Amino acid sequence: MAAARWGFTLGSSSSTARRGALPAGLALFALLVLGTRAEAPAQDEVRIDLSTDVQKRIGLVLEAFTSAGSGSARTTAVQADPILANDLAGSGLFTVSKAWETSSLPADAQAVVGGKITISGQTIVLTGEIKDFPARRLIARTDYRGSMGDLRRLVHRFADDIALHLTGEAGVAQTRIAYVVKGARSSELHVVDVDGFGARQLTAFKSPLVSPAWSASFGDLFFASLRGAAWNIYAVPSAGGTARQVSRGGTLNIAPAAGPDGALAYVSNKDGNSEIYVANADGSGARRLTVNRSIDTSPSWSPSGQRIAFTSDRGGSAQVYVMDRDGGNQRRLISGYSYSDSPQWSPKGDKLCFVVRTGGKFDVYVANADGSNARALQTEGSNENPHWSPDGRLIVFSSNRAGGKNLYITDLRGTIVRRIDVPGAAANPAWSPRPAGPALSGANATTTNPGGSKR
């Protein structure tokens, strides 16, 4: 059922790997036998580097989970298979072959993943295994423990660890997307797991609401809402809870953006017209960065927190600009388009995504962080509010291409890897950072290193 919910477009098999699959696999093997429980493993020199080649995907064979323990383990294992397949196919990293659906395994596969579901009492143990292919030597085996309701979460953790083992960086299966469900008179903030499950409403403001933005810690969601006579910025715990007002003064406080150090950039008209400010996360200590009579809006932090991209119409039309975090060195960043807006800095700082208006609709573009090499990524229908995944490999955006408003995820070659089907008119997506905690193994997961050459 889950697989039927999304139109997956698996990566084409035309990924002409510039690096040999086998050497990469061996390098990974060498990496993994050293043990990788550190949160920031020093593995740059051995990972499969995908960052320089967005076209390339890793061929992955997915084997059905086996089961042990109580009778419900079999049922649970069958449930786990499509969850993992969705996670891996939706990651933009892998070309997934399901061993239970195909008799001929792809010759260019580089790894095989699978494992076992064990249920004892109310405890599920998902034993995830990653092996190289075709030799099937064990790369890693990890036990993920949880209670009966935790299956999806355990599978997501395994999926993210698969990406970590095979690329050097964890995947994004445990992340969430915040978005706005727009109604005729009011809108509300929602959040959903990145695979489209677990959608829930976080606000009941019954008023216009825009601009969701995650705190760097994953713990809070900022947004702007028109309650009473003024737009203000609010923060609500991303797990649900009471919203608190952050901004003060003026009638327009919108476009919050949380910086890596907790500072909050946002737009306010409290000194006259829309200007960009930086304040503490609780709204105190606000300092104005732009000073002009033009529209300045939509700030986005560079991942270092040293610069801010934003939109201004100071040159006569809306365009993407950049400035230092103290407001210095304001200059236009994107040129060549009559209207560019909604900049978002990639998590690695090397790129920007933004929208360009063409003929009354918006396209999603990507450019280098210095504005060079801009290219259209999504042009079907009108596409707004692009926002990066925390690994910088995917972009979520809203589009009216199928009528209404829906959320889509694209990779950097423009392939839609997922459509997130949630009820209502979904807009304004914001991709969460990774949840806090060690990527590879938390308190309830243990990784077994293959025997042999430990350092």
Partner 1 sequence: MKLFVRCAAFCLPLVMVAVLAGCSKKKEVAEPAPPPPPTTASETPAPAPPPTNTEPSEQPNKTVQDQLADVFFDYDSAELSSSAQSTLDADGKVLNDNAGTSVTIEGHCDERGTVEYNLALGDRRAAAAKDYLVRFGIAANRVSTVSYGEERPFATGADESAYAQNRRAHFVVR
H or E stretch at 162:
helix 151-167
- In order, the DSSP letters of 107-141 are TT--EEEEEEEEEETTEEEEEEEEEETTT--EEEE
Residue with smaller CB distance to partner 1, 29 or 277: 277
- List phi, psi (to 5°) of 170: -60, 155
Residue 398: CB minimum distance to partner 1, A: 10
Measured CA to CA, the distance from residue 334 to residue 296 in angstroms comes to 15
Measured CA to CA, the distance from residue 354 to residue 265 in angstroms comes to 18
Residue 327: CB minimum distance to partner 1, A: 18
- Are 84 and 159 in contact by the 8 Å Cβ rule? The answer is yes
Residue with smaller CB distance to partner 1, 33 or 181: 181
Residue with smaller CB distance to partner 1, 29 or 231: 231
Residue 362: CB minimum distance to partner 1, A: 7
Residue 357: CB minimum distance to partner 1, A: 7
Q: For residue 241, how many other CB atoms are within 10 A of its CB?
A: 11
Residue with smaller CB distance to partner 1, 280 or 338: 338
Measured CA to CA, the distance from residue 156 to residue 195 in angstroms comes to 9
CA-nearest of 449, 440, 385 to 174 is 440
Residue with smaller CB distance to partner 1, 65 or 345: 345
Residue 315: CB minimum distance to partner 1, A: 5
Residue 4: CB minimum distance to partner 1, A: 31
- Are 43 and 36 in contact by the 8 Å Cβ rule? The answer is yes
C-alpha distances out from residue 99 to 64, 81, 96, 134, 351, Å: 7, 11, 9, 13, 36
Residue 317: CB minimum distance to partner 1, A: 6
Label the pairing between strands 331-332 and 340-345.
unpaired
State the alpha helices, DSSP H only, in 207-270: none
Q: How many helices (H) and strands (E) does the chain have?
A: 4, 31
Return the bridge partners of 227, or none: 230
The CA R_g of the chain, rounded to the nearest whole Å, is 23
Report cis status (omega within 30 of 0) of the bond before 390.
no
Measured in whole angstroms, how far is the alpha carbon of residue 138 from the centre of its chain? 29
- In order, the DSSP letters of 383-434 are EEEEEE-TTSSEEEEEE-TTSS-EEEEEETTS-EEEEE--SSEEEEEEE--P
Residue with smaller CB distance to partner 1, 74 or 357: 357
Q: What are the residues binding partner 1 (CB under 8 A)?
A: 185, 187, 208, 210-211, 226, 229-231, 251-252, 254-255, 267, 269, 273-274, 292-298, 311, 313-318, 338, 341-342, 355, 357, 359-360, 362, 384-385, 427-428
Residue 137: CB minimum distance to partner 1, A: 51
Residue with smaller CB distance to partner 1, 29 or 408: 408
Which token pair is 134?
């075709």
Residue 229: CB minimum distance to partner 1, A: 6
Residue with smaller CB distance to partner 1, 25 or 386: 386
Which token pair is 106?
């792809």
Residue 298: CB minimum distance to partner 1, A: 5
Residue 386: CB minimum distance to partner 1, A: 11
